[in-house]
Structure 1
Amino acid sequence: MRVAPHHHQMEQSDNKVLKDGITFDDVLIAPAYSDFTPENADTGTQLTRSITLNIPLISAPMDTVTESGLARALAQEGGIGVVHKNLPAERQAHEVARVKRSENGVIADPVILGPDASVAEASGLMAEQGVSGFPVTEDGTSQGKLVGILTRRDMTFLSGEDGAARVGEVMTHENLVTAPSGISPIDAESIMTRARVEKLPLLSEGGALAGLMTMRDLENVRNHPHA
C-alpha cells in the first residue's frame, strides 16, 4: 500500500494529540504480479463450516438496508443478505421465502390456487408474492391434479367488476404445457421457447405438481452463475 505525500493537518485543540488525517483519495493500492487472469480469480469465502459464499459480501441486518430486495440481489451474485429483525416473525419468514423461492431455476413449492379461488384473491397474491402466475390444481394443493395455470396475461382484460370471478373461469386450461420433474434447465427453456410460454409446471410420475419453472428464473440462473 502506498500513501500519497499529500495529507490534511488536523487542528490542535483542548490538548488533543495532533495527528495526520488521510482520505480515500490519499490511498493507492499498488497492483502486484499474479499468474492468473481476473476471470479465473476465486473469491469464495467460507462463512461457516457448511456455508461457502462465492463473493465475500454480507449485508447488514438493518431495517434501512436488508430486506428481500437486497438479499435477493446479493444471493444472485454469490453473497448473502441478513434480513433485519424489526419485523414480526411472519413477515421475516415472508421476506426470506421471497429470496429462497427459486433454486437452480426451479420453484420447489410454488403458490397454488384452486379453481374456486377468486380473481381478486389471485391478484392480491400476485402483488404480495411478487409473482405473475400460479399453477391451479383441483383441490388447491400440490397433491391435486393440475387443471390449469393462471397468469397475469389471463387477467389483462378483466375489469374491476370481475374481481369476484373464479380462477377456473379465466385460467388457461387447454393444451397445457408441462414437463417431468428433474428436467434440465436447458431442456425446460427449449420447451418454453417452442411453446411460447413463460411458465412450465413440473409433474411427478404420479401426475402431482412437483414444482414450477419460469423463463425469468432460468434467465436469472444464466445471468448469475455465481448465485
Structure 2
Amino acid sequence: MQIRPTKGLTFDDVLLIPRRSSIASRQDVDTSTRLTADINIKIPILSANMDTVTEARMAIAMARAGGIGILHRFMSIEAQVREVKIVKRAQGFIIEHPYDTDPEATVAQARALMDRFKVGALIVMEAGKLVGLVSQRDLMLAPASIGSVRAAMTPRERLITVKPDVTVEQARELLYKHRIEKLPVLDDDDKLVGLITSRDLIKLDQSPDVTTDEKGRLRVGAAIGVAAREEERAAELLKAGADVLVLDIAHGHADHCIQMVKSLRAKFPRVQIIAGNVASREGARELAEAGADAVKVGIGPGSICTTRIVTGFGVPQLTAVMDSAAGVKDSGRDIPLISDGGIRTPGDLVKALAAGAETAMIGGLFAGCDEAPGSPVLRDGKKVKVVRGMASLGATMDRRLAERGEDESAEDQEDWSKVVPEGVEAVVPYRGNVSEILHQLVGGLRSGLSYGGAHNIRELQANAEFVEITPAGIRESNSHDVDRD
C-alpha cells in the first residue's frame, strides 16, 4: 500500500499562465489535430459513443463541423452497420453503392425505400443493368394512374452517364450543362459502379473543413467491445465503411482489452484503433505497445459516471491525461491521446489539450442537442433531454438484452438485482443545434490558443504552464458579485 505524494488535479484545480503572443486575431490559429496516428480532423472534438448522444444524425453533424462522431455499440450489429452506412452516404463525391429498385416495383414501394434510407433518388436496375433512375421529383409529379416505377422513371436512354475516372470539375460541368441532378457512373463493361449527385458536390464546396475520407465521404467511428462476437462486429463495421474502431470498455488497462487490440491489429492490419479507457501511465503505455493508434483517457470524470464513487478507483482527469501522455512517450510510439469526460466549458477543453490530449470526447454537453437520439420533453416548464451513463442500470440492461438477441429464455434467467451500476440516468437542458455548442467550444479554443501564444495545439502543449489555484481562485474565475437574474 502506498499514497502518491502528489495531488491528483482536474480542470477546475488549475489555470494556464498567459504567454506573450504574436497572434493578431484568434482566426489566425489552427485548430486541426490528429484523431489517430493516420487520421486528422479540423477541430479536436469527438461526440461520445453513448446511446443518448451519438447515432447517425449526430455523427453527420460532427463530421460536417470538422470533428467526428463515434457510434455507440449498444445495438445489434446490423443496426450499427446501418448507422455507419447512413453517415457514409450522407456526403461524398461518388456514392459507390447507390440504393436501387426494380422497374416493376410500385410507386409506393419506391417512396418507402427513399424514406427508409433518406435518399432523393433510386437507381432502377433490371437483370443487373441500369435501365433508369427515379427521383422524389418524379414521384411527386406522377399522376395517380401510374402504378409502377418503370412508368415514372427517367429511362436509360435519356440519362447522362460518366466513367469512374471523372473529376469533380467534369461532373460539375455536366450537371450544369444538362441541368440535371444525378450522374450514374458506369465502367467499361457498362456496369453501374456509383452515382454522383449535385447535392453532394454543393456540400463539398460549402464545407471546406468537413471531415472526409479519401473518397469525399464523411468520416465516422464506431465502438466495439471485447465479447466473443465483437470481432464479427468489427469486420462488418469496416466492410460498411467505418473509418476507425473504438475499443471501448470501462477499464481498458486489462488483459482482455490489450489482447483485443492485438487481435484486431493482426486481423485488420490497416484499421485505425482507438483503445481505452485508461487513467495511468502504465495503462497508456501498454495499449500503445499493443498496437493502438490512439488511447482514450478517463476513468470516472463524466457527469453521469459514478465509477469513482462505486469502486473507489479513478484519477482526476487533468492528472490522468498528463500521466497517460508520459506513458505513450514511454512506449516509443507517436500516437495521440483522447481526453474522455469532464468537459463542461471551452476552458476545460483548452486545459485538456494543453495537458497532452490531442482531442476530447464529449457526451453530456451534446446530449441535450437536437442531433442526439430522443426528443425533448417538458419538465417543470423547461425543455430537457435524457442522458445516461453507459454503465447505468438501464444502459446495462439494454446492452445485455441486445447482446442476447432473441434468446428470451436467457432474459428470464437474468437477475437484474445483482447488477451494480457505475452510472446514472438523468436529464440535461435542451440545447438546440449542436453547431451552437461547437461554435462556443471552438471559439473558446481559438481564444485559448492566442492567450497561450500558440498557433496550434502542439505549440499550446509545448508552451503550457499550469498554476494550481485555491477554492477562492475558482470563485474569482467565475462571474461574481453581480446579480445575473
What is the Cα-based RMSD across aligned positions, in Å? Answer: 2.6
Among 187, 192, 199, which residue is 2:170 paired with? 187
Worse-matched range after superposition: 213-222 or 100-109: 100-109
Question: Which secondary structure does the structure 1 equivalent of 2:61 belong to?
Answer: helix
2:79 equivalent to 1:91: yes
| CA distance in structure 1 between the partners assigned to 2:122 and 2:24 by the alignment | 46
Among 115, 122, 129, which residue is 1:134 paired with? 122
Question: Which secondary structure does the structure 1 equivalent of 2:141 belong to?
Answer: coil
Deviations 1:159-187 (A, max 9, x none): 6785xx22112101142111111211121
Deviations 1:93-125 (A, max 9, x none): 111111112564211111122212222221111
Q: Percent identity?
A: 38
Among 150, 153, 162, which residue is 1:168 paired with? 150
Deviations 1:169-209 (A, max 9, x none): 21011421111112111211111111111111111111111
CA contact (8 A) 2:184 2:194 kept: yes
Q: Give the 5 Å matches for 1:1-227.
A: 33-34=21-22, 41-101=29-89, 104-139=92-127, 144-158=128-142, 165-173=147-155, 174-227=157-210
Instruction: Give the CA deviation at 1:31.
Output: 8.1
TM-score, scaled to structure 1: 0.76
Instruction: Give the CA deviation at 1:63.
Output: 2.2
| CA distance in structure 2 between the partners assigned to 1:31 and 1:212 by the alignment | 51
- Say which structure, 1 or 2, has more relative contact order (CA 8 Å, 6+ apart): 2
Residue matched to 2:7? none
Question: Which secondary structure does the structure 2 equivalent of 1:107 belong to?
Answer: coil
Question: Which secondary structure does the structure 2 equivalent of 1:34 belong to?
Answer: coil
Deviations 1:10-54 (A, max 9, x none): xxxxxxxxxxxxx9xxx9996852358656643222222232222
Structure 1 residues 126 and 103, CA, compared in 2 at 3 Å: closer, same or farther? Answer: closer
CA contact (8 A) 1:102 1:108 kept: no
Q: Count residues with an aligned counterpart.
A: 196
| CA distance in structure 1 between the partners assigned to 2:17 and 2:124 by the alignment | 57
| CA distance in structure 2 between the partners assigned to 1:187 and 1:222 by the alignment | 15
Structure 1 residues 73 and 157, CA, compared in 2 at 3 Å: closer, same or farther? Answer: same
| CA distance in structure 2 between the partners assigned to 1:77 and 1:182 by the alignment | 29
Code of the aligned partner of 1:218: L
In structure 1, list runs of 5 or more residues that go unmatched.
1-22
Larger helix proportion of the pair: 2
Instruction: Give the CA deviation at 1:59.
Output: 0.2
Instruction: Give the CA deviation at 1:145.
Output: 2.2
CA contact (8 A) 1:105 1:217 kept: yes
Structure 1 residues 102 and 184, CA, compared in 2 at 3 Å: closer, same or farther? Answer: farther
| CA distance in structure 2 between the partners assigned to 1:29 and 1:131 by the alignment | 51
In structure 2, list runs of 5 or more residues that go unmatched.
1-11, 211-485
